[in-house]
């Protein structure tokens, strides 16, 4: 039972974790049994974080049902919260930076030094909404990970085969400062009196990380108080990258991702207003997490010598293929992805979307007519708490796909709006392959037929008299099997 | 009695005893059922048509959009209508070809016509000795006992019988159908 502890730092960390959760919900293969997400963000009220938190909590509820299924892969990977907490709460909740560094109690000389290092605005900055693009502030304030209860729980929970992955952006405040800081803490030995058990295991654990380079911009100039200036993103990224060179041979695998084709968001200081639409870069970043724990890539991702010291850090980037008509594809679909990524994404995303579209548009009408529902799913079944949560996740999944479609560089592999056709893939990738005997079933009747067929198979597999699935378990198993039978892309 | 005949005889009121006797193979000369029993052939056709339609509905078409109670009813009506025309057609063509013997086709006894043949038939015929004691038999071709209406009546009976077969087959064999297992209920 190996675990991957995924630290998501800042807003980008939360959004990548959201994408990762969407991928796991859709059944993308994960090389570990359990993912343990930990979000580090001082701005606890930002919408990106709260959306991710709600999603993960609902996922965990559905996963409790999914673990009892057989062939089903939807929601199959466990997501576990340490002590029921997702966010690493920093003990200190001081509002202003100058209060945090106790400037007033400093000597005059030190105060003068502080004023040289930080601007007046920075010193008076409200840190409860994050570090607003100031990694220099973040690196000071975030330096209190180890005091938090969640961090202690992480240390106590860590086992020998477990791995760590860190997600951060390089062009903001929290992520840019949090990543090197966290990495340093994780690899610094501690005394036994620190209360951090298994710390030796953590010191020697395999660590992967993704650093997200600028992929969006913010409007500047409107908010005079704003410290965030999109023009500095690139410079900050360059400066941070030069510092990250020191991480060489201290990490197993380092992933980088960026997009020059940026979407410009309205600037929000943080809090409820910080709600960025999902972006393909976040999806690709989530793929990096899965790549790191891919059992087929252990020798590629982890290079240690006989003394278990890291021989070299592997650096990886993500790219898309040119489209037929343009070098820089503005609309990314599955056709623009490399074979390996296609293999990873097409089946799970398409199957899960098929499940969602059917459930939303056809289930109510067909439930009373189709044998797969007869005896198993009554009128009130859809009001089952787990099923309601799963439907909520599917709605968010659909919204997530829509948001990616609305970016400047669109990720648009599906025809989302048209629900009449079962073949909703934008590319000419034939994944719905009716058997020869199924030639007479058109569109969604094809799925109904398959659901009825799989329902019989499940009865045969489990034995009608023997222990049977609970209805919600059967529901997941049934829809997975049926969608997997219809959608089976192979390179 | 042949089981098919037993079933059809339940509906004699719909098509008349004469047609029933004809179909059962009544021979006017031998005054016995020595002819071919057509209930067997017609009944077998109805049986097979109902069976084939049931198999086609549940196992060939077997469609998730054609598994409502009304789709099943439609097939049942289809089976019934086909058999209605088969029943009507066979009898109608026999009727038109004159294959039905006169003893069945027309009234052959007085009581059939409700005539008291023990009474004098004319005013001159008052001599009791001349009164015929035996019933007069004649064939009144203006009152045929088997008409097109009887053929339609038999068609309707065939409709009902075939529908019954279809219902029985449906209840017995629907359980192994993938998409129509619970059709009509």
Residue contact A449–B63, C-beta within 8 A: yes
Secondary structure in 3-state letters for B23-84: HHCEECCCCEECCCCHHHHHHHHHHHHHHHHHHHHHHHHCCCCCCCHHHHHHHHHHHHHHHH
B179 and chain A in contact, CB less than 8 A: yes
What does residue A166 show for φ and ψ, rounded to 5 degrees? Answer: -120, 130
Tokens at residue B23, please? 């179909």
CATH class of this structure's domain A3-319:
alpha beta
Chain A residues lying within 8 Å of B182, measured CB to CB: 371, 374
Q: What is the DSSP letter of A213?
A: P
Query: Which residue of B64, B72, B174, B181 is the best one to mutate when testing the A interface, meaning the one whose CB has the most A CBs within 10 A?
Result: B64
Q: Which residue of B has its CA nearest to A374?
A: B182
Residue A267: pLDDT band with limits 50, 70, 90: low
- The rounded distance, in Å, linking the Cα atoms of A263 and A218 is 8
pLDDT band at A448 (very low <50, low <70, confident <90, very high): very high
ipTM value: 0.76
| pLDDT at residue A36, as a whole number | 96
A175 or A344, which is more confident?
A344
Using CA coordinates, name the residue in chain B closest to A445: B64
Lowest mean pLDDT among A101-115, A131-145, A360-374, B12-26: A131-145
What pLDDT digit, counting tens, does each position of A303-353 carry? 888 888 888 899 999 988 877 777 777 889 898 999 999 999 999 999 999
> What pLDDT is attached to residue A464?
53
Over residues A23-67, the pLDDT tens digits come to 999 999 999 999 999 998 877 777 888 899 999 999 999 999 998
What is the structure's pLDDT at A394? 96
Which of B63, B68, B181 shows the shortest C-beta gap to A440?
Answer: B63
Give the mean pLDDT of A66-73.
Answer: 90
Nearest-angstrom CA–CA distance, A377 and B148: 53
**Contacting A residues, span 366-385, partner chain B, CB-CB under 8 Å:** 366, 369-371, 374
CA distance A451 to chain B (A): 9
The domain limits of chain B are 40-100+146-185, 101-120+127-142
pLDDT mean across residues, chain A: 84
**Residues B109, B136: Cα–Cα separation, whole Å:** 7
pLDDT at B132: 47
Contact A445 B181 (CB under 8 A): no
Q: Does B71 touch chain A (CB under 8 A)?
A: no
Looking at per-residue pLDDT, the higher value among A267 and A159 belongs to A159
- Asked whether the beta carbons of A337 and A244 are under 8 A apart, the reply is no
Distance from CA of A373 to the nearest CA of B (A): 11
Long-range contact set of residues A427-431: C-beta below 8 Å, sequence gap at least 24: A427/A333, A427/A334, A427/A335, A429/A334, A429/A335, A429/A346, A429/A489, A431/A346, A431/A347, A431/A350, A431/A486, A431/A487, A431/A488, A431/A489
The percent of residues in chain A predicted with pLDDT above 90, rounded, is: 39
* The residue to which tokens 């219902």 are assigned: B167
Q: What CA–CA distance (Å, rounded) separates A406 from A279?
A: 9
- Pairs across A and B, CB distance < 8 A: 35
What's phi and psi for A65, nearest 5 deg? -85, -40
- As annotated, the residues of chain A forming the CATH 3.40.50.1440 domain(s) are 3-319
State residue B111's pLDDT score. Answer: 45
User: Looking at residue A274, what is its pLDDT?
Assistant: 63
Distance of CA A233 to the CA centre of its chain: 23
Structure tokens at A453: 């067929």
From A370's Cα to the closest Cα of chain B, the distance in A is 7
More confident call, A110 vs B117: A110
Question: What radius of gyration do chain B's Cα atoms show?
Answer: 23
Contacts of A443 in chain B (CB under 8 A): none
Q: Which two tokens stand for residue A317?
A: 């980037």
Closest CB from A374, A440, A456 relative to B178: A456
In this model, does residue A95 exceed pLDDT 70?
A: no
User: Of A156-160, A240-244, A484-488, B61-65, which range is least confident?
Assistant: A240-244
> Between A271 and A384, where is the model more confident?
A384
Least confident of A223-237, A346-360, A430-444, B161-175: A223-237
Q: Tell which residue, A147, A178, A221, A153, has the closest CA to residue A7.
A: A178
User: Across the interface, do A449 and B61 touch by the CB < 8 Å criterion?
Assistant: no
User: Helix (H, G, I), strand (E, B), or coil: what is residue A12?
Assistant: helix
B89-113 residue pLDDT tens: 999 998 888 887 777 777 755 444 4
Q: Residue-wise pLDDT tens for chain B (185 aa)?
A: 788 999 999 999 998 888 898 888 888 888 888 888 999 999 999 999 999 999 999 999 999 999 999 999 999 999 999 999 999 999 999 888 888 777 777 775 544 444 444 555 454 544 555 444 455 455 566 677 788 899 999 999 999 999 999 999 999 999 999 999 999 98
> Tell me: the pLDDT tens digits for A455-469?
999 888 876 544 668
pLDDT the model gives residue A10: 85
A281: which strand partners?
Answer: none
At B114 the pLDDT is 47
- Return d(Cα A350, Cα A469) in angstroms, integer: 25
How remote is the C-alpha of A235 from its chain's centroid?
27
For testing the chain B interface, which of A420, A438, A444, A452 should be mutated: the one with the most B CBs within 10 Å? Answer: A452
DSSP for A258-277 reads --SSPEEEPP--SGGG--PP
Closest residue in chain B to residue A456, using alpha carbons only: B178
């Amino acid at each position: 039972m190996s675990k991957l502890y995924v630290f998501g730092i800042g807003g980008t960390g939360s959004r990548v974790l959201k994408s990762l959760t969407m991928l796991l919900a859709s059944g993308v293969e994960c090389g570990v049994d359990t993912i343990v997400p930990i979000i580090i963000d001082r701005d606890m009220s930002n919408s990106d974080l709260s959306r991710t938190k709600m999603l993960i909590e609902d996922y965990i509820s559905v996963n409790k049902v999914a673990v009892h299924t057989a062939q089903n892969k939807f929601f199959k990977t466990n997501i576990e919260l340490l002590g029921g907490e997702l966010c690493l709460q920093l003990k200190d909740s001081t509002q202003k930076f100058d209060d945090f560094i106790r400037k007033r109690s400093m000597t005059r000389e030190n105060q003068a030094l502080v004023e040289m290092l930080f601007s007046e605005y920075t010193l008076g900055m409200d840190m409860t909404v994050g570090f607003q693009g100031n990694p220099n502030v973040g690196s000071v304030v975030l330096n209190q990970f180890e005091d938090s209860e969640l961090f202690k729980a992480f240390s106590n929970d860590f086992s020998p085969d477990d791995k760590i992955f860190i997600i951060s952006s390089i062009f903001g405040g929290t992520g840019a400062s949090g990543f090197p800081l966290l990495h340093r803490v994780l690899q610094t030995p501690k005394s036994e009196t620190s209360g951090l058990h298994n710390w030796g295991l953590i010191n020697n654990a395999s660590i992967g990380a993704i650093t997200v380079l600028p992929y969006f911009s913010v409007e500047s100039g409107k908010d005079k108080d704003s410290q965030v200036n999109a023009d500095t993103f690139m410079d900050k990224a360059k400066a941070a990258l030069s510092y990250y060179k020191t991480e060489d041979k201290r990490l197993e695998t380092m992933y980088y991702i960026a997009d020059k084709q940026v979407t410009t968001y309205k600037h929000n200081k943080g809090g409820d207003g910080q709600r960025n639409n999902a972006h393909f870069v976040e999806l690709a970043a989530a793929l990096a997490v899965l790549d790191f724990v891919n059992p087929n890539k252990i020798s590629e991702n982890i290079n240690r010598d006989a003394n278990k010291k890291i021989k070299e850090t592997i650096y990886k980037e993500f790219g898309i293929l040119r489209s037929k008509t343009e070098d820089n594809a503005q609309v990314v679909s599955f056709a623009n992805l490399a074979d390996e990524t296609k293999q990873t994404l097409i089946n799970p995303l398409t199957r899960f979307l098929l499940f969602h579209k059917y459930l939303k548009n056809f289930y109510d009408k067909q439930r009373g007519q189709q044998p797969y529902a007869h005896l198993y799913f009554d009128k009130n079944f859809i009001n089952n708490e787990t099923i309601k949560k799963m439907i909520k996740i599917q709605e968010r999944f659909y919204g997530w796909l829509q948001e990616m479609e609305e970016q400047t560089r669109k990720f648009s592999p599906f025809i989302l709006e048209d629900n009449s056709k079962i073949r909703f893939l934008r590319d000419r990738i034939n994944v719905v392959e009716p058997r020869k005997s199924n030639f007479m079933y058109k569109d969604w009747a094809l799925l109904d037929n398959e659901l009825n067929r799989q329902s019989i198979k499940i009865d045969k597999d489990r034995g009608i008299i023997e222990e049977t699935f609970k209805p919600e378990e059967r529901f997941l198993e049934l829809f997975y099997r049926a969608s997997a039978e219809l959608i089976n892309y192979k390179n | 009695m042949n089981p098919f005949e037993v079933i059809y005889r339940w509906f004699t009121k719909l098509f008349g005893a004469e047609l029933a006797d004809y179909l059962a193979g009544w021979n006017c000369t031998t005054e016995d059922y020595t002819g071919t029993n057509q209930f067997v052939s017609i009944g077998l056709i109805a049986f097979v048509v109902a069976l084939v339609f049931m198999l086609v509905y549940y196992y060939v078409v077997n469609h998730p959009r054609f598994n409502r109670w009304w789709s099943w009813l439609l097939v049942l009506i289809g089976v019934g209508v086909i058999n209605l025309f088969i029943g009507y057609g066979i009898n109608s063509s026999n009727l038109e070809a004159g294959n039905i013997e006169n003893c069945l086709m027309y009234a052959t006894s007085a009581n059939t016509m409700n005539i008291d043949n023990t009474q004098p038939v004319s005013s001159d015929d008052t001599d009791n000795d001349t009164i015929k004691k035996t019933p007069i038999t004649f064939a009144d071709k203006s009152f045929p006992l088997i008409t097109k209406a009887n053929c339609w009546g038999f068609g309707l009976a065939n409709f009902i019988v075939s529908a019954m077969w279809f219902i029985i087959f449906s209840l017995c064999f629907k359980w192994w159908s993938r998409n129509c297992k619970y059709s009509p209920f």
